[in-house]
Amino acid sequence: MTEQQPLTIGMLVFPRLTSLDILGPFEVLARAKNCLCSLVWKSTTPILGDTGLVVTPTVDFGSAPQYDVLVVPGGPGQNALMDDDEVLDFVRRQGEAAKWVTSVCTGSLVLAAAGLLNGYRATCHWLSIDYLALFGAIPVAERVVIDRNRITGAGVTSGLDFAFTLLSFLRGDSAAKAVQLFMEYDPAPPFDSGHPRVADLDIVSTVKLQTSEMLAQREVACRRAARKLASEKD
């Protein structure tokens, strides 16, 4: 695609989303030429992210056009979306016609519940990646996974790597590099603790314990959504 060709990018938001999942990619993609990013939800009433940040949707489902690019973030609120027919129907309709179908973190589980990742390689937050297989997706433990017109990012901060990868497809490597430089995206984390393969075992255990209740709810929601999706195909 050329920089002159306008692109519409629909970015789903929802109560208790992890704000960085969508705000990081928004910052990257909205800076590219002729990329119009919209925050989409059932209504334009402000919503609260999982840490209390207020996010205001700019477009409601009923007013949303068919987007060229669909981006679905994750967060604790993703659990409730797995049973929300209005959301899944919107994601499914958009995903079936979008040029690019994408996600960050557990947003890939929403794509999967909408039937958009069956047979596709995909990633997710490390705490939840195994649930992808319930929907016929192929879990891949990488930071960004590309399979045809599906691009999925792993947990939270992976959304920046995901966004630059997506932008390179939309506008070319040079455009993506220019935005990366402008944003001074030159990560040098103070600790080598960003994934269980490198983090101390006691830190991994602590994070698993802290998230155990939410993950138990997520497993129930995913299994229920997978059964429903399978029954719809029969």
The residues annotated as belonging to the active site are 105
Cβ pair 55, 47 in contact under 8 A: yes
Residues paired with residue 70 on neighbouring β-strands, in sequence order: 10, 101
Give the integer Cα–Cα distance in Å for 51 and 221: 22
Widest pairwise Cα distance in the chain: 51
90-94 — which CB contacts under 8 Å span 24+ positions?
Answer: 90/40, 90/61, 90/64, 91/12, 91/116, 92/116, 94/10, 94/64, 94/66, 94/67, 94/70
* 3-class secondary-structure state, position 8: strand
